[in-house]
Amino acid sequence: MGWGAWVRALAMVALWSGTSACSVGMALSGEENPDLGAVRIGAQRGEIELHLGAPVQTVSLENGRRADIYEYQIGNQPSAGRAIGHGVMDLLTLGLWEVVGTPIEGVQGETYHATITYDRDDKVVEIKTRKKGSAV
């Protein structure tokens, strides 16, 4: 095999492996678990949002109360170890590992919803949590 063929082959491998690193990126870009210990009756709304982020939905209730629905994930922390494992498998299989690795990363973690009711002073008075997709 001549030099031109080697260069073309290496260019194809580099291009293929460079565009197929989805599982590596997904493993590195997970979300840290929220501090659910801070989500408690009597906490202020700002403190809750510090840990859970902005609500995905807000509902006004009677007597100046409101209910916010938050979405968060458990078990999808960023992992350099998983990313390295996926990268090594990508190299060993010339990128074919992505057929397996990307779906594996796609199912990491579980999504939950928390419905938190606040009084008129934005203090937590009720907390309900459920796994996304489960009955209310």
Q: Which residues pair with residue 71 across a beta bridge?
A: 113
What is the predicted pLDDT for the residue at 17?
47
Query: Is residue 39 in a domain?
Result: yes
Is the per-residue pLDDT at 8 higher than 80?
no
Of the candidates 52, 81, 50, 87, the one whose C-alpha atom is nearest the C-alpha of residue 69 is 52
Residue 14: how many CB atoms within 10 A of its CB? 10
Q: What is the pTM of this model?
A: 0.65
Residue 136 inside a domain? The answer is no
In a domain, 119, yes or no: yes
In a domain, 62, yes or no: yes
Domain hosting residue 85, numbered range: 3-131
Among residues 70, 107, 100, which one has the least CA distance to residue 86?
A: 100
The label of the residue with tokens 């994930």 reads: 73
% of the chain residues with pLDDT over 70 = 82
Q: How many domains does the chain have?
A: 1
Give the mean pLDDT of 123-127: 98
pLDDT tens column, 48-76: 999 999 999 999 999 999 999 999 999 87
